[in-house]
Structure 1
Amino acid sequence: MVTAKELENLYLKMPGTEPVTLTTKRGVNNDVLQTQSISHAWQRDITRDDVAKGLVLTAPEGIVWNIPDVLLAGKEIETGDTITDSDSVVWIVMSITRVRLRTHWRCICRREK
């Protein structure tokens, strides 16, 4: 069985990843903010199906972030959370799906205005 440490080392070698910051908003009024650095996440272009679902209006304003579950240290991503990329662009999580045998979070995001 693969250990969490072995998976973490795998992401260190994976090309095309970048560090991001996840900001979670919890509490009754979303007033409890927590930030977490994620060492390796990667972007993918948004699909036509994602645009058709109304999650974003146009492809340029949306992106898909893939975040390995093992790097979240037990936290979960929810809609309304934000992902800040290495260029300080803030992305609002609009939809979340667990993919690849629940090892990754696929986050459809809209650029914050």
Structure 2
Amino acid sequence: MVSTQLLDYLYLKMPGTEAVTMTIKRGVNNDTTTTTSVSHAWMRDISRDDIAKGLVTSAHEGIVWNIPNVLLAGAEIETGDTITDSSSVVWTVMSVSRLRLRTHWRCICRRQK
């Protein structure tokens, strides 16, 4: 079995990752927020299929963030949560799914204006 420490070490070696901050909003009026720092997440360009689904209107305003589940410390990502990247750009999660044997979150995000 792979340990959490080994997985964390793997992400430390992975090129193209950056630290992000997840803001998880819960409650009746999204009045309960939790902030979680994720040391290694990586972004990918949004696909044409994602644009066709209407989640974003252009490739400029959308991006896909991949976040390892083990680095979230048990938190769950839902639509409406936000990701703040290392350049202080805030991204709103429009769609979320679990990939790679449920070890990664794939978040289709729209840039906040």
TM category, shorter = over 0.9
The answer for the alignment partner of 2:58 in structure 1 is 58
C-alpha displacement of 1:5:
1.1
Equivalent-residue separation in structure 2 for 1:33 and 1:70 (angstroms): 20
Question: Percent of aligned positions with the same letter in both sequences?
Answer: 75
The answer for the alignment partner of 1:73 in structure 2 is 73
Equivalent-residue separation in structure 2 for 1:19 and 1:54 (angstroms): 28
**2:13 corresponds to which letter in structure 1?**
K
Equivalent-residue separation in structure 2 for 1:102 and 1:33 (angstroms): 24
C-alpha displacement of 1:78:
0.4
- Runs of 5+ in structure 2 lacking a partner? none
Aligned pairs for 1:1-113 within 5 A: 1-113=1-113
- Runs of 5+ in structure 1 lacking a partner? none
Equivalent-residue separation in structure 2 for 1:12 and 1:83 (angstroms): 20
Q: How many pairs were matched up?
A: 113
Equivalent-residue separation in structure 2 for 1:51 and 1:40 (angstroms): 26
Following superposition, which runs of at least 4 residues in structure 1 exceed 4 angstroms of deviation? none
Give TM-score, length-normalised by structure 2: 0.99
Instruction: Report the secondary structure of 1:24's partner residue.
Output: strand
Give TM-score, length-normalised by structure 1: 0.99
Instruction: Report the secondary structure of 1:50's partner residue.
Output: helix
CA deviations on 1:1-45 (whole Å, 9 max, x unpaired) are 111111011001100000000000001110001111100000000
